[in-house]
Chains A and B, each alone.
Chain A
Amino acid sequence: MIKSERILSGIEAFALPLLALTVSMFLFGIFVMLAGANPGEVFALMYKGAFGTSFSIQNTLQRAAPLILAALCTALPAHLGMVIIGGEGALVMGGLASVAAALALPDGTTPLILQTVMVLTGMAAGGFWIGLSGALRHYRGVNETISSLLLTYIAIAILNHMVSGPMRDPASLNKPSTMPIGDENMIGTLPGMDVHWGLVFGIVFCIITYILMYRTTFGFAARMVGGNARAAAISGLPVGRLLIVTCVIAGAATGLAGAIEVAAVHGAANAPLAAGYGYTGILIAFLARQNPLAVIPVAILLGGIDASGGLLQRRLDLPDATVFVLQGIIFVVILASETLFGRFKIFKPKEAA
C-alpha cells in the first residue's frame, strides 16, 4: 500500500508540472497571437531552434550545462526549507575567482593542473558566497532570500570593478576583460560533439547530490530540518551545520558553473559572465520540484527555450525578450499549480475510499 502511494505521488509530481507547462504554452500562444505572430509558426521555430537540428541540439546542451549547476543552487537549500535566489552571484564569483587563480599560477603549468585549480577555486568561491547566506540565516536570522539576492548585486559590482580596474587586460578596449587564460588551457569539447565537458560535470553533480539528499543520513537529516526545523533541533540534529553545509554545496555547484563558463566558453572573466543563468536556474529548480535528478531534463528543456530565442528574433522579428516572457509565464503557472497537489482523487490510493 505504501508503495502504490509512493508511485502515485511520483506520477502526480510528474503530471502536474507537465500540465502546468501545457497551460503555460497555451497562454504563451495567446500572447504571441496578440503580438501579431502565428503561434503555430512560433512553436515550430522554437522546436527547430532548440532540438530541430544537430547544431541546435548542441547549442541547447551547451546552454544546459551552466543551467543544471545553477539550478542546484536553489534546489538543494530548498530541501531545508530555504529559498536561495543568489545563483547568479555565486556563478560570477566562481568565474572571477577561477580566473584569478589561473592567472596567479606560474607560466608553464600544465593545462590539466591549471583547469583543476580553476574548478576548485571556482567551487570554493561559489560555496563561500552562498554559504555566507546560510550562515547569516543561521547565526543572525537574516532572511536568506533577500541576503542572497543582495549578495548577487554585490558580486556583479565586484566583477565590474575587477574587470575594469585591478584585473583589466590593457588590450581589451571596448569590452573590459581580464587577461585571457590562454587557448591551450581551455576545457575542450566532448569527443565527437561540439559540447564542452561542463555538461558532464553538471550531470555528475546532480547524481551525487541526489544520492546525498535521498540516500544518506545527511540528506535525511537535512530534509527533516526542511519538514520541521524546531522538531529537528529538539531531536538533536545539528541544524546550523546542515544548513550551512548544504548552502556551501549548492554554491559550489554554481561556482563550478562560473569556472566552466570561463574555462570553456569565454576564456576570461568579463561582464557577459552575468548572463542570467542564475535566474533561469531558480525557475528550473522550481519546475523540477527541487529534485536534483529532475533538474537535468528540465534544464535541457529551458536551455532549448533559451537557444531558440535567436531564431525567433531573426525569423519573426520578435524581440529577444520573448523567451523571458515565456519563462515568466511558466514560472507563474508552475507556482500556481502547487495549489493543485493533493486535490485530485486519481492520485490517491484506492484503499482510502
Chain B
Amino acid sequence: MEAADLGLWSVPLAIFAGAIRVSTPFLFVSLGECLTERSGRINLGLEGTLVMGAMSAYAISYLTGSPWLGVLVAGVVGSGFGFLHAIICNMPRVNDIALGIALMLFGTGLAFFLGKDFIQPQAPNLPAIPFGWWSDISQIRSALDINVLFIIGVLLTPAIAFFLKRTRSGMILRTVGDSEDAARAMGFSVARVRMLATMAGGFLAGVGGSFLSLYYPGSWSEGLSSGQGITAVALVIFARWNPLYCFYASLLFGGAGALGPALQAVGITSGYYLLNAAPYILTLVIMIAASSSSRRLAGAPGELSVTR
C-alpha cells in the first residue's frame, strides 16, 4: 500500500477526515448541552466536565486496560458534575452562568491535579472501523477509519430528537424549559427535571471528553481541550436548540477546526494560529448574524437566561 501523490486533493480529504475527528467531541457536548438548555438552564461548566471526562477516561483505560470502561466512567464523572451544577442552581438566587464558569475552573483544576500521574504512560485507545477497506490508496483508507464514538453520536442525534419531540418525558422537559409556571401548574418538579437534564448533559460531555484522550489526539495532557466545551455551548445557540442542527453544526465546526492542520500538512504554514481560531471566529460571526436586539431567538426555550 503506497501513499499515492494526491496533490491538492489531499486537502479536502484531510478536511473530511479531520471534520469527523474534530467534530466528535463537539457533537457529544452540544447534544448534552441541547438537553440541558431545553430544560431552561445553561451549563457553561461543560468545558470543565469535558476535561475531567478526558482525564478520568484515560486514567481508567490505563489502569484497567479497557477503553470502554474509561468512556463509561467519564460519563459518570460528567453526570456527577452535572449533579453538582444542578443542586447548587436549584437553590434560589444562584446564577447558572456564573456557577458554570466556577465549575469550569474547578473541573479543569481537579483534572490537572488528579491527572498529573497519567501524562506519561500510554493507555489503550478506542477502536476505529475501517470503512476504507475497498480502496488501494492509503490516504483514503486512513480518512475512512471512522471512530466508533462518532457513529454512536450519529445514532444518538435522531434518538435525542425523537425523545424531545415525541415522548412524554421529552414533552415534560420542554415544558419546564419554556415556562416554569406552566410546568408547576401541571404538577411537574422543575428542580428534578432540570437536575436530570443537566446530569444527562454532563454524561454526554464526559463521553465527549473521553474521545479527546482515547482517540484523537489520543493521550492525556493539560493542553488537551482548547475550549471545545465552551464552543459547543455557543454551537447549541447557533443550532437553535435542535439536535439535528447540532449535528450539522458540529461537522461544520469540525471542518473549520481541521482547516489549519490540513493546510499545514501540504506545506501552507503561514497563519496556522489564525486558522486554529477559525471555529471561534465562525461562532462569533454566526451569533452576530443569528441574534437580534429586538426579538428573542426563534426556538429558544422561554426560561433560558442567555437569550433573555
Contacts and interface: CB of A to CB of B under 8 A. Distances in A.
Chains A and B form a bound pair: yes
Interface of A: 35, 83, 85, 136, 138-143, 145-147, 149-151, 153-154, 157-158, 160-161, 164-165, 279, 282-283, 286, 319-325, 327-329, 331-332, 334-336, 338-339, 341
A145 B94 contact: no
Nearest to B285: A150
A321 B102 contact: no
Closest 6 CB pairs of A and B: A328-B106, A324-B109, A157-B277, A321-B112, A331-B102, A141-B293
Contacts of B274: 157-158, 161
Interface residues of B, number: 49
- Majority DSSP secondary structure for residues of B touching A: helix
B270 A165 contact: yes
A145 B233 CA distance: 11
Given A139-B293, A154-B277, A324 B113 contact: yes
Contacts of A140: 288, 291-293
Interface string B281-306: 10110011001111000000000001
A335 B99 CA distance: 6
B98 A83 contact: yes
Contact of B284 (A151, A160, A282): A151
A283 B105 contact: yes
Contacts of A331: 101-102, 105-106
Contact of A83 (B97, B103, B116, B234): B97
A236 B3 CA distance: 69
Contacts of A165: 270-271, 273
Nearest to A341: B93
Contacts of A332: 84, 88, 99, 102-103, 106
B50 to A, nearest CB: 14
Given A83-B95, A147-B284, A141 B102 contact: no
Contacts of A321: 109-110, 112-113, 116
Contacts of A336: 88, 91, 94, 99
Contacts of B127: none
Contacts of B106: 325, 328-329, 331-332
